[in-house]
């Protein structure tokens, strides 16, 4: 029976046993395998299990470092969590390239977070506008206990607006703006909004001088908005076009042509949504990896960025490039609602390490670092696309994965890396190459790395 009630009430081993029995062709191997994906320290495992319901093991992704990021004059080694081959290598290579050209520059344009209380009200719209100042005062008054701590840290509620939508009569929203300092602030924002919803209902019930119709209010929902266009950061790099000379020469181009082709590639992503989506995906290869490594919410960050990319009605590139007066400038403007205190940042053991590696950044610093990595990733991708194509870098990493999978020794791997520089990489080709050398570990009776190596020994 594959349906179950009360799954969440089973302990972890019972969950694994039930899964093994009903969904695996080899229950014993299944249970044994999952047992290897538990953290050896029970305390750490308990913390990780506590993040979600029904955790049965840890799903491992590489925790990597992209060093040499010079951002606003400070050098960072940036932690990245990503599974895609070549992303970290590309970020590191772009970091090195720009470190020799003044590094990345970044500035926070704003840090405003938003939330909404959606409600229906059945009186005349003008009347609602008339009484709104009194309502706003009552809302703010009702939330003083919730905002006290945030205000001490320099944040709090920045404003409350009343918005109506002519296409949906009787529907209104309170759009509330917040400053949440170094925290992402989701709990704070949602708590305030739910208090506002209660206050809204009480206001219409007990305010003097309202007609019966004007007392009817129905709160639909209260929730933060992940669209935060004013929680925005700009990162940029710039250099004389002439400093592309070496890079261009390798490609048989001159520096000016390379810079212009780069700018053209970015303009294509400005005007064509098909290209823009892929272009921005490359930016989020970098951004998401830092967001994950620091315990932030990559779904929120991506959702917001894509809406921002379509803010004028067409989905466009988040980055821009100019080539003029002998200078190349490449810039990324992206909303990033990130935090460095609270939430997963304080709970996930490696998120804490990431923040340590980054020098305990403020949320504003982290926005700058993350935007710089997004820009670096975009630079590396476009640079490859307009020169060698990306398959060269991808295939190098792909080859490493195949070699690991086949249990190649370091010597075999080095020889294969050399051999496949001039050959097409394919799984069967690499296997044939290793077999032909007659040097496979198995043949020598040595342990294969792929089957026996486990993340948590
Ligand atoms: C691959 O993950 C990302 C790229 O496709 C981005 C781009 O095309 O700009 C290389």
Domain coordinates in residue numbering, the chain: 7-49, 82-106+237-389, 112-225, 393-452
Distance (angstroms) between ligand 1 centre and the Cα of 91 equals: 12
CA 90 – ligand 1 centroid, Å: 11
Q: What is the Cα–Cα distance from 450 to 453, expressed in whole angstroms? A: 6
Ligand 1 binding pocket (C-beta < 6 A) is: 84, 278-279, 281-282, 285, 381-382, 385, 390
Q: Are 66 and 373 in contact (CB under 8 A)?
A: yes
Closest atom of ligand 1 to CA, residue 282 = 6
**Distances from the Cα of 224 to the Cα of 83, 119, 230, 231, 253, angstroms:** 30, 14, 14, 13, 50
327 pairs with which residues across the strands?
240, 324
Interval 122-162: pLDDT, tens: 999 999 999 999 999 999 999 999 999 999 999 999 999 99
Ligand 1: atom nearest CA of 269 is 9
Residue 378 Cα: closest atom of ligand 1: 9
**pLDDT value for 393:** 66
Nearest CA to ligand 1 atom 10: 381
Residue to mutate, 88, 270, 285, 319, ligand 1, most ligand atoms under 8 Å from C-beta:
285
Domains 82-106+237-389 and 112-225 agree in fold: no
Q: What is the pLDDT of residue 422?
A: 77
Over residues 254-313, the pLDDT tens digits come to 999 999 999 999 999 999 999 999 999 999 999 999 999 999 999 999 999 999 999 999
Cα 356 to ligand 1 centroid, rounded to whole Å: 30
Residue 370 CA to ligand 1 center (angstroms) comes to 18
pLDDT for the residue numbered 85 = 84
The Å distance, Cα 98 to ligand 1 centre, comes to 20
* Tens digits of residue pLDDT in 202-252: 999 999 999 999 999 999 999 999 999 999 999 999 999 999 999 999 888
Distance CA 128, CA 162 (A): 9
Cβ–Cβ < 8 Å for 137, 103: no
Question: Smallest Cα–Cα separation from 370: which of 304, 303, 301?
Answer: 301
Give 381 Cα–ligand 1 centroid separation in angstroms.
6
In DSSP terms, 322 is beta-bridged to 329
pLDDT at residue 456, as a whole number? 31
Over residues 345-373, the pLDDT tens digits come to: 989 999 999 999 999 999 999 999 999 99
For residues 203 and 196, give the distance between their C-alpha atoms in angstroms, rounded to a whole number.
Answer: 10
Active-site amino acid positions: 84, 281, 297, 394
Please state the atom number of ligand 1 nearest to the C-alpha of residue 275: 8
Nearest residue (by CA) to ligand 1, atom 3, is 282
Mutate to test the pocket of ligand 1, among 86, 278, 383 (most ligand atoms within 8 A of CB): 278
* Structure token digits, residue 326: 């002998």
Q: Please state the pTM of the whole predicted model.
A: 0.88
Q: Is 164 left (phi over 0), alpha (psi -120 to 50) or beta?
A: beta
Q: Where does 112-225 sit in CATH, by number?
A: 3.30.70.420
Taking each helix axis from N to C end, the angle separating 391-405 and 87-99, rounded to the nearest 10 degrees, works out to 130
CATH class of 82-106+237-389: alpha beta
């Amino acid at each position: 029976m594959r349906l179950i009630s009360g799954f969440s009430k089973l302990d972890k081993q019972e969950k694994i046993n039930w899964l093994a029995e009903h969904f695996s062709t080899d229950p014993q191997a299944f249970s044994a395998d999952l047992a290897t994906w538990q953290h050896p320290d029970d305390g750490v495992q308990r913390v990780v299990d506590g993040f979600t319901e029904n955790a049965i093991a840890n799903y491992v992704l590489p925790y990597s470092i992209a060093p040499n990021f010079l951002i606003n004059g400070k050098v960072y080694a940036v932690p990245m969590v990503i599974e895609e081959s070549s992303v970290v290598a590309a970020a590191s290579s772009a970091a090195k390239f720009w470190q020799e050209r003044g590094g990345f520059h970044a500035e926070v344009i704003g840090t405003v977070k938003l939330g909404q209380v959606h409600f229906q009200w059945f009186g005349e719209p003008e009347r609602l506008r008339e009484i709104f100042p009194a309502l706003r005062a009552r809302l703010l008054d009702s939330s003083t206990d919730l905002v006290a701590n945030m205000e001490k840290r320099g944040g709090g509620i920045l404003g409350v607006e009343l918005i109506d939508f002519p296409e949906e009569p009787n529907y209104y929203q309170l759009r509330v703006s917040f400053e949440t300092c170094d925290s992402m602030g989701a709990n704070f924002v949602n708590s305030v909004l739910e208090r506002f919803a209660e206050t809204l209902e009480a206001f219409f019930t007990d305010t003097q001088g309202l007609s019966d119709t004007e007392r009817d209010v129905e709160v639909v929902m209260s929730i933060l908005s992940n669209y935060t266009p004013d929680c925005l950061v700009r990162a940029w790099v710039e250099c004389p076009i002439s400093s592309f000379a070496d890079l261009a020469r390798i490609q048989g181009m001159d520096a000016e042509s390379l810079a212009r082709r780069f700018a053209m590639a970015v303009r294509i992503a400005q005007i064509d949504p098909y290209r823009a989506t892929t272009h921005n995906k490359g930016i989020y290869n970098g951004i998401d990896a830092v967001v994950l490594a620091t315990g932030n919410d990559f779904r929120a960050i991506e959702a917001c960025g894509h809406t921002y990319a379509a803010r004028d009605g067409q989905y466009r590139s988040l980055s821009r490039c100019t080539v003029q007066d002998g200078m190349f400038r490449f810039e990324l403007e992206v909303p990033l609602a990130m935090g460095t205190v609270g939430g997963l940042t304080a709970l996930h053991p490696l998120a804490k390490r990431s923040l340590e590696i980054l020098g305990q950044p403020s949320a504003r610093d982290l926005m700058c670092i993350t935007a710089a990595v997004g820009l670096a990733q975009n630079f590396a991708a476009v640079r490859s696309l307009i020169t060698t194509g990306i398959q060269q870098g991808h295939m190098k990493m792909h080859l490493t994965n195949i070699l690991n999978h086949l249990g190649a020794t370091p010597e075999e791997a080095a020889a294969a890396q050399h051999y496949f520089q001039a050959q097409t990489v394919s799984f069967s080709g690499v296997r044939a190459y290793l077999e032909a050398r007659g040097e496979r570990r198995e043949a020598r009776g040595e342990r294969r790395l792929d089957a026996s190596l486990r993340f948590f020994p």
